[in-house]
Chains A and B, each alone.
Chain A
Amino acid sequence: MRVAWVVAARELRSRLRDRSAWIVGVVAPVALALIVSFAFGGRDAGFQAEVGYVPDAELVDAFVANALEHPDAAGVWTARPFATVADAEAALAAGEVAALVLASADPLGLDVVRAARAPIAGDALAATARAFAARAAEGADASASWTEAPVRLAEGGAAAYFGPAMAMLFVFFTLAAAPRSLLAERRHGTLARVRAAPVSLVAVVAGKALAAAALGFVGMLAVWAVTSWVFGVSWGDPLAVVAILLAFLLAAAGIATLACAYARSDAEADGLVSSIAFVLAMVGGNFVVLGDMPPALRTVALATPNGRALDAFTTLAADGGGIATIVAPLLAILAFAVGAFALSAPGLRRWVAA
């Protein structure tokens, strides 16, 4: 065990002297967590679009006043008047506005003009126009009153989701350092020299794994601390958060070990871990909130450790419960870890024998 600690301490010293370890392990996840959280949770976040119109058409003026400039739509739409239809269309073609709403005489109504580069604004403006038309047909007396009820995943919003998501993505790259370092030592012949000493290979592997796991855990804690500080967000009960982070660390270590157990070189190991981390992040919900995924993709996401961990983080942030509320996802993540380590065993045995 002492050998493992010595190897871990030596590995940590060497990794901490390497600037890229800091950048990949701490700076990158923190920076990306901040970018995404600002993108979806900052003061000016979210969908906002400028819509062009030509005043003095009764229906268009009513639509602008009662739909686009209605208090319910505050912060979403900005209406910009133009003198003529040609001016408005030129502004749309030049990308100055995201869409237009014009008067249509036959049949009487609204003409929504979209731009290919702004499909969301086009969809939203057309839907808003249809809603306006429906409410106009309903008649003012019969129209229902609408009240907004905002409910957030957690105080601080998007950071409660994308903080853990970015921390999880980059932990793969940090963990890959351990098997990569072993493969590099084998290539340079230093591993053979270490094995000539009365030191077991298991202790060397354990030491390197311990160092990589410690760095990975520090990276995740850094994202947790920075997002909590900048956005005032709570990821949930600290004990439960640490439990998910450690379980995910184990699963990621298992997956990195699995990839490296069958890699022939450190470059191959790097490529494999990057590919797996990227695929898991893309389908596991690290870039798209699980709740925004279509049902089929959400099912796929929940079959990955990333999706399970993010589901657990969502439960913690939404319910404010403790570790008891996330037992099922925790066990699922640990099952991934056990499965990955079990699958790597034959490759590792062959590796040790070589």
Chain B
Amino acid sequence: MTRARHARRAPGLAAVVGAVVAANVRRLVRDPIGMAFVFVVPFVLILVVGVTVPDADAPRPLGYVAGAGVPAALEARLREDPKLRTVAYPDVDALAGAVRRGHVAAGASTALDPAGALEVVWWTDPGRAPDPALRAAVVVAVAEASGPTASTPPMAVAERTIGGAGAPVTGGFARAAPAYLILFVFLNTLVAAWGLPADRASGVAQRAHASPTGAGALLAGEVGYRFGLAVVQALVVIAVGALLFGVSWGDPWAVAAIVAAFAALSAAASVALGSWARTPEQVTSFAPLLGIALAMLGGCMWPLEAMGPTLRAVAGAVPHAYAVEAFQEVIGGGAGLADVGPQLAALLAFGLGFAALAGLAHRRSARG
């Protein structure tokens, strides 16, 4: 009889989820630091990066030393090249020092051999991100400064993007924006896990579990709140990118699907961490660590292309890499929803894995 009365009084799933989400939102709104971390920090960082990161075709800093007898036309040609920002150095030691310290991306020193032919020494630091396009620009400049021979016909070089309607994305921020979106959505959603151990410490979680509401509904509410938080953050980054920096995000259905899939897996990961952690301090210690490490491995801090094959293989086990790749396809390649199916499937698989972990950890923490 009592059980039947309880069953009648038990609120529906939607009501429980709504109540848990509302309680979490009230806590977030009352926490100015949490609000700042969710909204202000990404905004400030995106603003700084958006304003300062140059376009892909912006001039690259080149150090240059002119050898004795080398025609001044070459230096003039290098200085005029819109792809280069040429800095002259008095000797090769100064040039090598500038390359070593990273003051210039690479250096070129020139000399004439006894036969009068031009010799170019190319100075680079192998420990830094390589820049084949910079070298190629200098090769073109050297060739043009030497003057074409009349006998050689000109050769055209055309470019197109496969499957894409438009030109390649050259805007520095347009290339960086998806990576920042992924980085902040995952990191901030993970940090939001601290509420779960805090609720257990204050006894709120135990009281909720003692009520007729099912554990599954409570879990769905916690996941739902974090999913909403992740989606709102993604929308903030998308709006800032589009309104302030003119980023064209591409097909809205594809973007919505990527955001939804990544937000869902971030929410599940957050609940898994929050259920596993014994104290809120453990969450605030581990969440930044996990968020930053996965962002580094998943191509949010540097493009995966700039890494070697070993780390690119490691990135295959990180969900961030699939989300960044899907955004690149949509923004730069004009891909639609169907085109990013493989990446979405990978994100959903990660999401299911995190959800399974969250379910197990939540059940254990509810028992404990």
- Residue positions of A touching B, CB distance < 8 A: 20, 23-24, 28, 31-32, 35-36, 38-49, 59, 73, 76, 89, 92-93, 98, 100, 104, 107-124, 126-139, 141-153, 157-158, 160-161, 169-170, 173, 180, 263, 266-268, 270-272, 274-275, 277-279, 282-283, 287-297, 300, 314-315, 318-319
Contacts and interface: CB of A to CB of B under 8 A. Distances in A.
Interface stretch (B148-156, B264-272, B352-360): B148-156
B34 interface: yes
Nearest to A21: B285
Contacts of B143: 131, 134-135, 137-138, 143-144
Nearest to B109: A149
Given A263-B33, A275-B36, A292-B105, 10 more contacts: A40-B128, A47-B305, A109-B157, A130-B157, A146-B122, A151-B96, A153-B128, A173-B288, A267-B194, A271-B191
A129 B310 CA distance: 28
Nearest to A283: B48
Nearest to A41: B127
Interface stretch (B52-60, B221-229, B234-242): B52-60
B329 interface: yes
Nearest to A31: B293
B305 A158 contact: no
11 contacts: A44-B308, A46-B130, A109-B157, A123-B168, A137-B148, A138-B149, A139-B148, A148-B124, A268-B31, A292-B129, A315-B101
B340 to A, nearest CB: 10
Given A124-B133, A270-B281, A104 B159 contact: no
Interface string B315-342: 0000000000100110111110000000
Contact of B161 (A122, A132, A148, A153): A122
B18 interface: no
A152 B127 contact: yes
Contacts of A268: 31-33
Contacts of B132: 47, 73, 76, 124, 127-128
A85 to B, nearest CB: 11
Interface string B148-175: 1101111111111111100011001001
Contacts of A73: 132
B142 interface: yes
A75 B201 CA distance: 55
Contact of A283 (B45, B118, B122): B45
Contact of A46 (B100, B126, B152, B194): B126
B333 A133 contact: no
Contacts of A288: 301-302
B348 to A, nearest CB: 19
Contact of A300 (B48, B288, B296): B48
Interface residues of B, number: 110
B208 interface: no
B53 A294 contact: yes
B37 interface: yes
Interface of A, helix, strand, loop or mixed by DSSP: helix
Q: Considering residues B136, B147, B296, B332, which has the most beta carbons from chain A within 10 angstroms of its beta carbon?
A: B136
B349 interface: no
A108 B155 CA distance: 6
B168 A274 contact: no
Interface of B: 31-34, 36-37, 41, 44-45, 48-49, 51-54, 56, 58, 61, 96-97, 99-105, 107, 109-110, 113, 117-130, 132-133, 135-137, 139-140, 142-144, 146-149, 151-164, 168-169, 172, 175, 191, 194, 198, 280-282, 284-286, 288-289, 292-293, 296-297, 301-303, 305-311, 325, 328-329, 331-335
Given A138-B143, A291-B128, A127 B160 contact: no
Return the 9 tightest CB-CB contacts between A and B, nearest first.
A291-B102, A116-B333, A157-B127, A109-B156, A127-B136, A116-B332, A131-B139, A139-B149, A134-B143
Nearest to A169: B292
B297 A149 contact: no
A289 B162 contact: no
B207 to A, nearest CB: 21
Contact of B286 (A23, A291, A300, A318): A23
A106 to B, nearest CB: 9
B155 A137 contact: yes
Given A150-B125, A267-B284, A119 B56 contact: yes
A137 B156 contact: no
Contacts of B302: 39, 287-288
B123 to A, nearest CB: 5
Contacts of A41: 127
Given A137-B155, A274-B284, A116 B331 contact: yes
A130 B136 contact: yes
A11 to B, nearest CB: 15
A219 to B, nearest CB: 13
Contact of B306 (A98, A120, A300): A120
Contacts of B124: 148-151
Q: Considering residues B48, B56, B102, B122, which has the most beta carbons from chain A within 10 angstroms of its beta carbon?
A: B102
Contact of B136 (A32, A128, A275): A128
A287 B224 CA distance: 32
A111 B129 contact: no
A38 B58 CA distance: 28
Contacts of B288: 173, 274, 277-278
Contact of B160 (A23, A114, A135, A295): A114
B146 A151 contact: no
Given A110-B155, A274-B284, A283-B48, A151 B125 contact: yes
Q: Considering residues A116, A152, A263, which has the most beta carbons from chain B within 10 angstroms of its beta carbon?
A: A116
Contacts of B117: 144-145
Contacts of A144: 110, 117-120, 142-143, 146
A152 B127 CA distance: 6
A148 B122 contact: yes
A240 to B, nearest CB: 16
